[in-house]
Amino acid sequence: MKKVFLTSLIIFATVSFVICGCFLFNKSDSVYGCVEIDGKKMGAHVAGSGDKTIVMLSGWGTDSPIDDFYPVWKNLSADYKVVVLEYFGYSGNDVTEKERSNENMVEEIRAALKKLNINPPYILMPHSMSGLYSLHYANKYPSEVLGIIGIDMSLPQKQLERWSKETFENTKEDINAQKLNVSVLNQWNAFYSNSQKLENVKYPVNLPVLALLATEQVDSVDKMIKSKEMKTSWVEINNAMVTNPEIQKIKVLNGTHNNFIHDQSSTITNLSKEFIENI
C-alpha cells in the first residue's frame, strides 16, 4: 500500500525535488521522502518547526515507522520540529549487510540527520529496541542529546536477565523462519550482543528522561518472574537506570507494547509536551 502511495505521489506531485537520488515532496506541513547514507536510501519524514527537535526511532520490525508514529508526530509537529527515521530494511527502504551494532545504528542516525540539515541537540523518542541505540547515543554524544522520551523502550538488563548468550540463539531460529530481509534479521540477531555492550550503562546524570512503560510489558515481566525466567520487574529495571530522579521520570500507562503509540497517543503527546517545556 505504501509503495502504491509513493508511486502516485511521484506521478502527480507538482512540487518535487531530489536529494541524494531520493524524491522528496513538499506538503503543507512536512517533507516526506528519504536520504542517502552509504549509497543506500533511508526513509525520513520531517514535519513542523520550532527551536526543539524530536527524533522518533521505531521498534524492531515495525512495518512502517512513519505510519506507526503518525498520531504522535502529527500532534507534536504543531509545536516542534519532528523527524521520523526508518532504518535500512524497513518500509521498502534499501537493505544493508553492515553489522546492526549500537555504534553503526547511531552513526547512521547521525548521518541521516546531517543530510537533512537538522542540527543537534535532539530529543530522542525511541520505541522498544531503539532504546538501546538511544542509550548508546546519549552516552557517546551527550552534547547532541537534549533528552529521551522512551516509548516502552528496551533496556539491556531485561535481555540479559531473560536470556543467556546460548539461549538467545534459539530465538534466532524462530526469527529466521519469518523470512525477514537481511537488515531486519541482523538487527534482531544483534539484540543480545548490543545489550551486553550496554550492561553497565545508565542515563547520564544531566540527561532529562521520561520513560513511559506499557502495562502489557509490566505484566509480561511479572509473569516471567513467577516462572523464574526473570527476577527483576520492568519498573525496577527502569528505576535502576535512573541517575538523577529530579529530571529522570518513569510513568506506567495502560497499553500494549507493540501498539503503545496508538493506545496512548493523546497521553503520550501531552506528557511529551510537558516534559519538553521543562527541559
CATH code for the domain in which residue 237 is found: 3.40.50.1820
The answer to the question of residue 2 being in a domain is no
The answer to the question of residue 163 being in a domain is yes
Greatest C-alpha distance within the chain: 60
The answer to the question of residue 1 being in a domain is no
- φ, ψ for residue 14, nearest 5 deg: -90, -25
- 125 burial class (0-12, 13-18, 19+ CB within 10 angstroms)? buried
The residues with which 147 forms a beta bridge, in sequence order, are 123
Q: Are 139 and 156 in contact (CB under 8 A)?
A: no
How many domains would you assign to the chain? 1
Q: How far apart are the first and last CA of the chain?
A: 39
Which grid coordinates are listed for 10? Answer: 511521484
Q: What is the mean pLDDT of each run of 10 residues along the chain (279 residues)?
A: 36 29 42 83 94 97 92 96 96 94 98 96 98 98 98 98 96 86 96 98 98 98 98 98 98 96 95 97
The answer to the question of residue 117 being in a domain is yes
Please report the pLDDT score of residue 178 as a whole number: 83
Give dist(CA 156, CA 202) in Å, integer: 10
Give dist(CA 96, CA 246) in Å, integer: 41
The answer to the question of residue 164 being in a domain is yes
The answer to the question of residue 8 being in a domain is no
pTM: 0.89
Domain with 252, as residue range(s), is 29-277
Among residues 72, 91, 82, 76, which one has the least CA distance to residue 5? 91
The answer to the question of residue 203 being in a domain is yes
Please report the pLDDT score of residue 34 as a whole number: 87
The answer to the question of residue 9 being in a domain is no
